[in-house]
Structure 1
Amino acid sequence: MKCSIWGVAGLVVGTALAMPAMASGQPANGPGIRIAADVPEPEDAQFVPEASNVVPATAKGATDIRRNPAAKAAAGTYVCPGFSTIDDAVPLTAVLDDTFIWGTFPPYKVGDGNGNINWKLNPYDNPSWYMWFHSLRWIGQSVTAAAQGDAAAMARMTAIARDWVTDNPYSWKADLGAWESTMHRTNVLICVRQAVLANRAVETLPAEYAWLDKALVDHGTFLTNNWSGAWNHGTDESIALFGVGCTLNREDFLQLAQQRFATGITTSIDPQGGTNEQSTGYAQFNYSLWGRAVDAMVNCGTDPGTTINQRRVLLAKFVAHATTPKGTLQQIGDTDTVKTYNIAGTPLEYVATAGQSGTPPAERVGLYTTAGFAFGRSGWGTTTPFAGESAYSLRFGPRRMVHGHSDHDGLTYQARGRDILIDPGYPGYKNSPWRTWAKGPLAHSSMTVPQSADPMQATKLERYTLRDQADFYELKDSPGVGVNRTRAVLVVRKPDLIVTLDRATATKSQQFQTLWHLPSDQNVVIESRSVAVARKAGENTRTVILQVPYKQAIPAGATLVRKGLTRPIQGWHYPTPDLRYQAPTVVEARIGTSASILSFLIPLRANAKIGYTTRQSGTTYVVDLTVDGLKTSIGVTGGGSLVRLA
């Protein structure tokens, strides 16, 4: 527990340290405990200061989850869920030295060397560092060692856990990091309890550890009174609450967790398989998280029914569609550049192995009209190598929520074995101008109105047509007060290219900017007011961004490039929250009360030629285009549709 020594001047604690070497305490000779395989989680804190952090359930809940009296008597086992790789960076020597290590930050000594921890420390002013500190997951290696008979690990594990309990009495809701980490810490305390039983080779918790059961009851009560609702946090909380009920034989906790599983699943994963979190990374995480919920229920006498697994099957297909030809997720919403998990027996196996094993989805395009995603590709690698296919994503749908960004109308695109259009990612959850930019409309490849405040409005998919050689979408919304926007998108194959027609009207003069966010390895040359060319030095691929006049002349200065700007922020990419690179953004600009911007985004060989002519055919405006010897004709109909004519 924390003692008055914390007030003594000159005590050397709370200092950055060099990385301790890997080591172990006494030889491991105990029985150990079962620890579930890690479910890789998004690494950053998710709660927003001074926000409710609750996502209400909006769909009718599942009705097929119920306690199983026949299994109940034989059950009662809640497997230690592990420490989600947080403990991987914290060797036992560090735990024994009261040193916390997380992320790219230097190791930090957070205690006095005897398990007396200063839980108010946040030396790097980082909410994620602080949240994982309070999660206790960083003591995972001491839990594993204690369960195997290591006396030093046992002493330090229980000292740190008890110190947290003593220094953070119920209710700890006023401390955002302690609150958000409750579900994680609950599971660690359950693992600590199991390690104590294994270390002592007993089945009943010894009296001197009664504080552990009281702490679990307090955590169960906190979770009862504070549920985050129908998103990953609420699911994680329900699993932890279920774990306390299973561990302590508390039927009230079990029943409430079961009800919350039923309430949350149908909103978290919709009937099409889309995620309400508006993030491909969290979609992937939710697949594994709901699998853990099923396992917990089965192991402790609850029939999980069929709804959860049915929705997981649909979600696996969603994630497969969201996978690029490089085997990574389309970086949408709060998502890192991350590989797709290989889940045997699902479409994820196919995309994670680049088609070497498994079965792909039957559809070439995954269209999720409820959640607001379109994922398309030229194929699944059956006639062309998987990595050589082209692929795209397009966003629309409900207003921004949970882990979503103001990315409506936004595109990502891969072709010729590389990224062509990117989403700039996200810088974590610390409130900052960088976070504001990454979530806002200026960080996405769409038409923007930078002088208008972001209303975070819904975007309607007005119509679409999916054909073998071209996919068409039309989207409508209002990106600012008095502004109406329509985007038509045509994704063409053979040759691979994207055509967009952005039209907008406003009640007062505005800046209109169609933005194209390009990878950080690209250099951009502005060749004219209507042409920009992007290329990585030495690579045999270039991307031509071409404006073609349509119902509006292209003015001087209509094509610009922005890279690495800080005032205002523009031209950056976050592959992960702790990595930021300068990345060019091509800006197609207009000023006035209306705009009409017809754009062609064309990836092709470095020395290949492009040519085009235009003509009128009845009410259709036709662009006859030649790309590296391949000819195609694109029509803009009188009603604003984009069609491939040849």
Structure 2
Amino acid sequence: MLDLVINSSRDDINSGRLTILGATVPVDLSALDFSTSPFADPGRAMWWRSLAWLAVLWLPEGRSAPDTTIPDPIGAIVTAMGNTPDPGWDTPEARSLARASGWDEATNTRREQTLNCLFELSGDGRLVPLLTTLAQANLDPARYYGPPSRVAHNHGTMANLALMDTAHLLGDTELATRARARLLEAAHRVFTARGYTFEQSSDYLEFNVQMWTIVAALFSADPTTPVETLAALTAALSRARTMVAHLTDPTGHPAAYGDSRRSPRPVPPAQQSFTTRDDQGGIAAGRWSWTNRLTSWWSLRYGPPRRMHGHQDHGSVNWSTLRVPVLVDPGYLGNDPALPLVAWQSSPAAHNVAVPDDGKTRAQPASSTIVRRWRDGRVDGVVVAVATWAKPLRTMIIVDDARRSLTLTTIMRGAFTTHLHLDPCWTQIQPTATARRFSCRGRVLTVEVGSQQTTVYRGSTDPIAGWVFSTAQVSTPAIELAIAGLKSQQLTLTVSRSTTSPTPS
């Protein structure tokens, strides 16, 4: 993951250039100052203060001394941290200063991870007091992102794993005991009963599975771990891995719900069931085979109000068939507020949903529910009551594996626009009088729109429309259809094999 965030090589750092998430700034270790940041947006500033970028001087070979012409980089860290000590978290003024100098929980955890790495490689004793101070800040209950004061969250798990690493490096058994106690308290609060994450993001589901797999190994190696706790965590991880499989289409593309990206994964392993439904997490999905990659697959978002890494995506459906992804969730670009696409990425219009045309109707925090769901042979149907808007919205999705079709029926008072986002592989070809048509890898997609006003966007910046995000800070143009509806609307999408070379529109 680090190479996706830190885009600088060892030579870049030695030459005084630092690139984080695609933005490059000059860097001078002799003037390292955590009270300011060369990056304006908070995400890059966090990674700057984390010092993760400095680890490239020791990596990837894992050398004991940095490969650099910069004199004493560890000394520069010691000086910089000495100039910006932890102000605590007790007052508004202290919290403001902590956020501005890297002592908030997110930055502090990553800085502790970095210095753990550097200490393990270098053995430099000057890092010991710094690690002790970082660990104390991570132990601060007011800063801890986890129970009992806050919900279980990946930040809290990362903090505790960093503390376990620090405890191992420093031989601090008390520190290990305290971190382990917090992990034990959070272990049963991470995943829903059916295996999704309360953080409402398919990427963070996978990240939590990775971290809690490490935690399970730590628990297993500790004879004091309650047997029932380890058994419950092992079962929860099994359910979560099953959910990851259900949320990956037959081509290896993830559903990319919430703060997630559409970077391909391995084709999912076979599971016992072809469908899943998690009302607690707000996820449903289905397919007709785990081995035939031509099978149809769909997923649906609904459930509790938006929280943490979730988007305004209730009612949004993903769909793949005939070995090509068709309807996709655009995913997550980043958190730089200066980028217009960042505000768009979590909005309803950035998902496969209907949006009221009345500008006064705002999205609201409410739970959406599945009213009915059925499977009849090779046909799946779902009816969902979407509570995103003050006015009622009901959507019915019918996926027909035999016909390679998806029918979307929407009922809402007044005028609305249905947004449909296609995978970037699709290009527009010659339409018919009642349908828009698209081509991708020997397949043709026909969207029956009738006489309804339909606008096709691809990589538009005014208005923002037609984008997909597969990599950090990278925007890929993709087809988006905006289809006008009034009171009710039925759209049918069908994929077929192409028999001739498509004619571009």
Note whether the superposition's TM-score is higher than 0.5: yes
Deviations 1:27-51 (A, max 9, x none): xxxxxxxxxxxxx4xxxxxxxxxxx
Report the CA distance between 1:441 and its aligned residue. Answer: 0.7
Report the CA distance between 1:494 and its aligned residue. Answer: 1.0
Letter in 1 for 2:400: V
1:613 is matched with which residue? none
* Unaligned 5+ runs, structure 1: 1-39, 41-83, 200-204, 342-350, 353-358, 548-553, 609-646
Question: SS state of the match for residue 419, structure 1?
Answer: strand
Q: 1:484 aligns with which of 363, 377, 392?
A: 392
Matched residues in 1 for 2:218 and 2:113: separation? 12
Report the CA distance between 1:191 and its aligned residue. Answer: 2.9
Question: Are the aligned partners of 2:315 and 2:386 in contact in 1 as well (CA < 8 Å)?
Answer: no
Deviations 1:51-88 (A, max 9, x none): xxxxxxxxxxxxxxxxxxxxxxxxxxxxxxxxx44798
* Unaligned 5+ runs, structure 2: 88-96, 147-151, 501-505
Question: SS state of the match for residue 429, structure 1?
Answer: coil
Report the CA distance between 1:152 and its aligned residue. Answer: 6.8
1:370 is matched with which residue? 280
Deviations 1:405-449 (A, max 9, x none): 111111111122212112122220122532222101111112221
Matched residues in 2 for 1:524 and 1:233: separation? 46
2:468 is matched with which residue? 573
* Pairwise CA RMSD: 3.0
Work out the percentage of aligned pairs sharing the same amino acid.
20
| Structure 1 segment 51-130 matched on structure 2, within 5 A | 84-85=2-3, 89-96=7-14, 99-106=17-24, 108-112=25-29, 114=30, 116-119=31-34, 122-130=37-45
Report the CA distance between 1:597 and its aligned residue. Answer: 1.0
- In structure 2, do the counterparts of structure 1 residues 181 and 525 end up closer, same or farther at CA, with 3 Å as the change threshold? farther
Matched residues in 2 for 1:273 and 1:439: separation? 23
Q: Does 1:173 find its partner at 2:124?
A: no
Q: Does 1:187 find its partner at 2:113?
A: yes
TM-score of the pair, normalised by structure 1: 0.67
Q: 2:372 aligns with which of 463, 472, 483?
A: 463
1:544 is matched with which residue? 446
Report the CA distance between 1:560 and its aligned residue. Answer: 3.2
Matched residues in 1 for 2:341 and 2:484: separation? 23
Matched residues in 1 for 2:3 and 2:221: separation? 23
Question: SS state of the match for residue 283, structure 1?
Answer: helix
Letter in 2 for 1:424: P
- In structure 2, do the counterparts of structure 1 residues 377 and 177 end up closer, same or farther at CA, with 3 Å as the change threshold? farther
Question: Computing the radius of gyration over CA atoms, which structure comes out larger, 1 or 2?
Answer: 1
TM-score of the pair, normalised by structure 2: 0.84
Question: Are the aligned partners of 1:146 and 1:195 in contact in 2 as well (CA < 8 Å)?
Answer: no
Report the CA distance between 1:366 and its aligned residue. Answer: 2.3
Report the CA distance between 1:196 and its aligned residue. Answer: 4.2
Matched residues in 1 for 2:62 and 2:221: separation? 21
Deviations 1:362-405 (A, max 9, x none): 11112222211112123112xx3x3x222111111111111111
- In structure 2, do the counterparts of structure 1 residues 160 and 290 end up closer, same or farther at CA, with 3 Å as the change threshold? farther
Matched residues in 1 for 2:133 and 2:190: separation? 30
- In structure 2, do the counterparts of structure 1 residues 416 and 121 end up closer, same or farther at CA, with 3 Å as the change threshold? farther
- In structure 2, do the counterparts of structure 1 residues 237 and 261 end up closer, same or farther at CA, with 3 Å as the change threshold? same
1:272 is matched with which residue? 194
1:444 is matched with which residue? 351
Matched residues in 2 for 1:434 and 1:209: separation? 40
Moved more, 367-376 or 124-133: 124-133
Report the CA distance between 1:473 and its aligned residue. Answer: 0.9
Question: Are the aligned partners of 1:457 and 1:478 in contact in 2 as well (CA < 8 Å)?
Answer: yes
Question: Are the aligned partners of 2:469 and 2:476 in contact in 1 as well (CA < 8 Å)?
Answer: yes
Letter in 1 for 2:304: P
Q: Does 1:406 find its partner at 2:312?
A: yes
Letter in 2 for 1:597: Q
Q: Does 1:512 find its partner at 2:407?
A: no
Q: Does 1:290 find its partner at 2:212?
A: yes
Question: SS state of the match for residue 318, structure 1?
Answer: helix
Deviations 1:218-264 (A, max 9, x none): 43444x43112212112111222333444455565444423332333
Question: Are the aligned partners of 1:87 and 1:141 in contact in 2 as well (CA < 8 Å)?
Answer: no
Q: Does 1:434 find its partner at 2:377?
A: no
The total of aligned residue pairs comes to 477
Matched residues in 1 for 2:139 and 2:479: separation? 50
Matched residues in 1 for 2:394 and 2:323: separation? 31
Matched residues in 2 for 1:151 and 1:598: separation? 62
Report the CA distance between 1:484 and its aligned residue. Answer: 0.4
Report the CA distance between 1:491 and its aligned residue. Answer: 0.9
Matched residues in 1 for 2:129 and 2:108: separation? 17
2:301 is matched with which residue? 395
Deviations 1:283-332 (A, max 9, x none): 11111111223345566776372322221111111111111222221222
Matched residues in 2 for 1:312 and 1:295: separation? 12
Letter in 1 for 2:407: V
Report the CA distance between 1:489 and its aligned residue. Answer: 1.2
1:34 is matched with which residue? none
2:483 is matched with which residue? 588
Moved more, 579-588 or 211-220: 211-220
Question: Are the aligned partners of 1:449 and 1:479 in contact in 2 as well (CA < 8 Å)?
Answer: no
Report the CA distance between 1:471 and its aligned residue. Answer: 1.0
